[in-house]
Chain A
């Protein structure tokens, strides 16, 4: 089946630093999504990307849908302690038996005050 490779697996950064993480796939997706999971909670949608090349921001978060449709990137600027959590990318294709999200393995972010 389709698999997503997400990197890095974990990051330890200082408050105020910028963060970058990415996700790659062996196959094409119509939509890329980025979720954040706070400790002890379920994932929550941060950003959705619909078109190859698209760049979308949500506050300090910026995500891009790769031109090849096989990758996506998430950047967090000026990190703060509440950014701690696990960030998941997810790919989605529509139609037929598809329509289920495929998740990456997550990037665990730790922020030192």
Chain B
């Protein structure tokens, strides 16, 4: 069991570039989510999914897109990166929405110049 995996671990982008942050889990969890962590701001929910084919917005969705074509994968897309998107991004999964224990990936540190 690998748990929740994220790639890449580090990424540097120029303003306006696009990229996809990958997230995968092998625990057959229905619920997956993306958070961003900024100094002094804690973890803020970007998007989440309650199952394949179903996604919804969190607290800070602007500038990000997601899709959930399989139970295992939940990629996060930045269509046109901005310096304000410099952050550490965490993917998490749990058995269901509202399940108490969310399992977090190791994070992706993104810098946008």
Which of these binds chain A: B64-72, B78-86, B98-106?
B98-106
Could you tell me if B101 and A48 are in contact, using CB atoms closer than 8 angstroms? yes
A99 beta carbon closer than 8 Å to chain B: yes
A43 beta carbon closer than 8 Å to chain B: yes
Given contacts A48-B100, A92-B98, A92-B100, contact A41 B33 (CB under 8 A): no
Interface residues of A in 56-98 (CB under 8 A from B): 88, 92, 94-95, 98
Could you tell me if B102 and A101 are in contact, using CB atoms closer than 8 angstroms? yes
Q: A92 CA to B48 CA in the complex, in Å?
A: 15
Q: Which of B40, B43, B98, B105 contacts A103 (CB 8 A)?
A: B43
Q: A40 CA to B104 CA in the complex, in Å?
A: 12
B97 beta carbon closer than 8 Å to chain A: yes
- The winner among A9, A41, A42, A103 for most chain B CB atoms within 10 A is A42
Which of chain B's residues have a CB closer than 8 A to the CB of A105? 40-42
Q: A99 CA to B59 CA in the complex, in Å?
A: 13
Q: A95 CA to B96 CA in the complex, in Å?
A: 12
Q: Which of A6, A44, A92, A98 contacts B104 (CB 8 A)?
A: A44
A1 beta carbon closer than 8 Å to chain B: yes
Q: A106 CA to B45 CA in the complex, in Å?
A: 15
**Residue ranges of B at the interface with A (Cβ–Cβ < 8 Å):** 4, 33, 35, 40-45, 48, 58-59, 90, 92, 97-98, 100-102, 104-107
Query: Can you list 21 A-B contacts (CB < 8 A)?
Result: A6-B42, A33-B100, A40-B106, A42-B4, A42-B90, A42-B104, A42-B107, A43-B43, A45-B101, A45-B102, A88-B42, A92-B100, A94-B98, A95-B98, A98-B98, A100-B48, A100-B58, A101-B43, A101-B45, A103-B42, A103-B44
